[in-house]
Amino acid sequence: MTTEFKSPSKPNRYAPRFTQVATFLRAPLAETLDDVDIGLVGVPYDGGLTNRPGARHGPREVRNESSLMRMINHTSRLNPFELCRIADVGDVPFSEILIIESAMKEIQSFFTQLKAANVLPVSVGGDHSISLPILRSLATSGPVAMIHFDAHTDTWADFQGSKFHHGSPFRWAVEENLIDPKKTIQIGIRGAQNITDGWDYSIEKGMRVVFIEELLECGTQAIVEEARRVVGDSPVYLTFDVDGLDPVYAPGTGTPEIGGFSTAQALAMLKGLRGLNFIGGDVVEISPPFDVSGLTSLAGATILYEIVCLMAEGFGPATTQHTP
């Protein structure tokens, strides 16, 4: 008896989930960008970390844990894989990974290729410094809106003499006119700091900063409504730092802060963002060496799936053409 050879680039999604080469959400591995609407990208870069290391291993572990994901969303009943063509487009290739400015250029260059091919990116980091070169590639027609889940505002200035690190991407995104601070909301902010520069910068520039106390007092639905009000119908980038989650739910991260929101609250907020004009998204700061039982990677994989669902709906029957 012979079995027909099937390329690992075209996996059978109904096969047992623990089999074959792991890709993000068990999506096919793209051989070209021609037939891709949403590209799932690994960015295994953590040269911007200021504390516990390991986020460079995030993409591999999220691919592994995302083998657990199935297709049909239990709340929307939609299957994103039926709405558009979703593929794993591999990792950003690096040739100068130890030089942060060069690595950022390599990230930007990869995402510029995706944009040129009309591929909407959803990325897995990597540390949060990767969002700046991604925004540089996407926000080429003016500043975009942003929804940002995190314990930290990531609008701090230099650290140890370096302008670029995982605590500063959105300060430079404002300075470079990539995001509109008045159309930016930061959700889940908390944790003691030695200086207040980052918090002050966000507030002075007009970002809507939702500290964790407000979220816990007002509830996820109020925060969803506020996020929708802030971004309106502008093109919007969604960035999710897993340290926004309480470390009980996401211990595998570089700068954990206790007292965060739960995975259930995170999913409730994400599910409340349907119908917005998403141009891309990322989930970052998963550090497998600090993870316990793969739970942080599984949380990251599930957040990745929900972001993909939000973006796939833009390709649904009602709107066949996505307009970034």
Question: Closest separation between CB of residue 167 and Mn ion, Å?
Answer: 7
Question: Closest separation between CB of residue 109 and Mn ion, Å?
Answer: 23
Please identify which residue in 56, 63, 128, 183 interacts with Mn ion, judged by CB under 5 A.
128
Cβ closer to Mn ion: 191 or 294?
A: 191
CB 78 within 8 A of CB 312: yes
Cβ closer to Mn ion: 171 or 183?
A: 171
Question: Closest separation between CB of residue 58 and Mn ion, Å?
Answer: 13
Return the structure tokens found at 300: 């990251």
Identity (one letter) of the amino acid at 61? E
What's the Cα-to-Cα distance from 221 to each of 9, 262, 278, 316, rounded to whole Å?
40, 14, 20, 25
Cβ closer to Mn ion: 151 or 250?
A: 151
By CB under 5 A, is residue 243 in contact with Mn ion? yes
Q: How far is CA 141 from the centre of its chain?
A: 21
**Residues 138-177, mask of contacts with Mn ion (x by CB under 5 A):** ------------xxx-x-----------------------
Cβ closer to Mn ion: 9 or 196?
A: 196
- Give every CB contact of residue 277 below 8 A, 6+ residues apart in sequence: 233, 234, 235, 236, 314, 323, 324
Interaction with Mn ion in 20-59: which residues (CB under 5 A)?
none
Q: How many positions of this chain bind Mn ion (CB under 5 A)?
A: 7
Rounded to the nearest 5°, which phi and psi values hold at 207? -70, 150
Please identify which residue in 241, 282, 291, 306 interacts with Mn ion, judged by CB under 5 A.
241
Question: Closest separation between CB of residue 228 and Mn ion, Å?
Answer: 22
Cβ closer to Mn ion: 26 or 128?
A: 128
**Strand order across the beta sheet in which 235-241 lies:** 86-91, 38-43, 120-125, 277-284, 235-241, 144-149, 179-189, 208-211
Question: Closest separation between CB of residue 286 and Mn ion, Å?
Answer: 12
Question: Closest separation between CB of residue 1 and Mn ion, Å?
Answer: 53
By CB under 5 A, is residue 61 in contact with Mn ion? no
Cβ closer to Mn ion: 119 or 179?
A: 179
Return the structure tokens found at 25: 């959400």
Question: Closest separation between CB of residue 62 and Mn ion, Å?
Answer: 16
The C-alpha torsion from 226 through 227 and 228 to 231, rounded to 10°, is: 120
Question: Closest separation between CB of residue 152 and Mn ion, Å?
Answer: 4
Quote the CA–CA distance of 159 and 223 in Å, as a whole number. Answer: 31
Identity (one letter) of the amino acid at 3? T
Cβ closer to Mn ion: 81 or 170?
A: 170
Question: Closest separation between CB of residue 287 and Mn ion, Å?
Answer: 12
* Region binding Mn ion by CB under 5 A among candidate stretches 71-79, 127-135, 187-195, 222-230: 127-135
Q: Which of 99, 127, 104 is nearest to 255 (CA)?
A: 127
Cβ closer to Mn ion: 257 or 313?
A: 257
* Region binding Mn ion by CB under 5 A among candidate stretches 3-11, 118-126, 234-242, 258-266: 234-242
In the numeric block, the tokens 């572990």 are attached to: 61
* Region binding Mn ion by CB under 5 A among candidate stretches 21-29, 243-251, 260-268, 308-316: 243-251
Return residues touching Mn ion (CB under 5 A): 128, 150-152, 154, 241, 243
